[in-house]
Amino acid sequence: MDKSRRRFLAQSAGAICAGVASATGTAQAAFLREPRELPPNAVGMLYDSTLCIGCRACVAACREANGTTPEQPEKLADWNPGIWDTAEDLSGNTLNVIRVYMDGTKENKDQEANGYAFVKRHCLHCMDPSCVSVCPVSAMRKDPDTGIVTHDPDACIGCRYCVYGCPFSVPQYQFDNPFGQIAKCQFCNHLQAKGEIPACCDVCPTGASLFGRVDALQAEAERRLAAKPGETYVFPRGLLGGDAPSHEATIPEYQPHVYGVTEGGGTQIRYLSGVPHEKLGLPKLEQHSFAQVSEGIQHTLYKGMIAPLALLGGLVVFARRSTRGHKDDEE
């Protein structure tokens, strides 16, 4: 095959692929259902990775508040057995974990090159949660007032659709338990019901995990982004606007984006970081949620069934009339 023919074929294939991709994007956009807004009294958390010192007090407090037990991965089983909690990721018994990003010499905190940074992993309490959308028995629910996403073990049938549907790989199934259940952070709703704040925010010594109304937390995050690096700043602790002692520190070099404002339709847990968010394991997501696509397609199909049904009904009437005509002729 000569070069010009090969180039022609390559260009044609490229044009076809681009056309298909753009048609797929357009078709997907045409199916999207309306995005979800923040509920009226949405509560959430601002996790500022630059304030986190990796002490894991939040992991211990989460265990105490939720009755889970310390975990050790098999490779560390001989290392101070039963003393150190060395959970590496979420599991059926771990609802909150601190993970570490490391690069090169690991000397510089919150820097991408030769640096390290912490990230706290738990449910992000999505504004439009796919775990709720895929659950066939409404065991996953989003509170219409506070937006907290909870799991009801009594309603759950163990299908694990939520495990596969969550874009952040949060819900975990207790495979080691014959009566296994789904486990995920419920935002300490049992403590919030008593007027308390989530245990991880209450215990955090630096204010890296800060609890509050989502709109106020977002304004706080934007204030930090607007301040000059090196400037002294008063960082609140515990509850934003509460009376826990705050602490002064300097503003770091932040990534210029609050993660969770738009990702996957938005989340009620928001993140600030010194290293790119994806380096912390926070995935790059489209602005729409998975639920907007799947429910949009479903609704369109159901709506689309009306026309074929009307046509089918018309055909049945027409066929019956024609048959009656033949019968009349025979008589």
Interface with ligand SF4 (CB under 6 A):
52-58, 61-62, 65-66, 95-96, 98, 118, 120, 122-126, 129-131, 149, 166, 168, 170-171, 184-188, 198-200, 203-206, 208-209
Least separation in angstroms between residue 291's CB and ligand SF4 is 9
Least separation in angstroms between residue 46's CB and ligand SF4 is 11
Chain centroid, CA 148 distance in Å: 12
Q: DSSP string spanning 47-71?
A: EETTT-----HHHHHHHHHHT----
Least separation in angstroms between residue 68's CB and ligand SF4 is 9
Tokens of 151: 């799991």
The CB density around residue 237, as the number of other CB atoms within 10 Å, is 23
Dihedral pair phi/psi, residue 167, rounded to 5°: -70, -10
Least separation in angstroms between residue 54's CB and ligand SF4 is 5
Nearer to ligand SF4 by Cβ, of 3 and 167: the residue is: 167
Tokens of 12: 């044609």
Count the helices and strands in the chain (H runs, E runs).
Answer: 9, 12
Nearer to ligand SF4 by Cβ, of 42 and 170: the residue is: 170
The CB density around residue 242, as the number of other CB atoms within 10 Å, is 15
Amino acid identity, position 213: R
Rg (CA), the chain: 26
Least separation in angstroms between residue 130's CB and ligand SF4 is 5
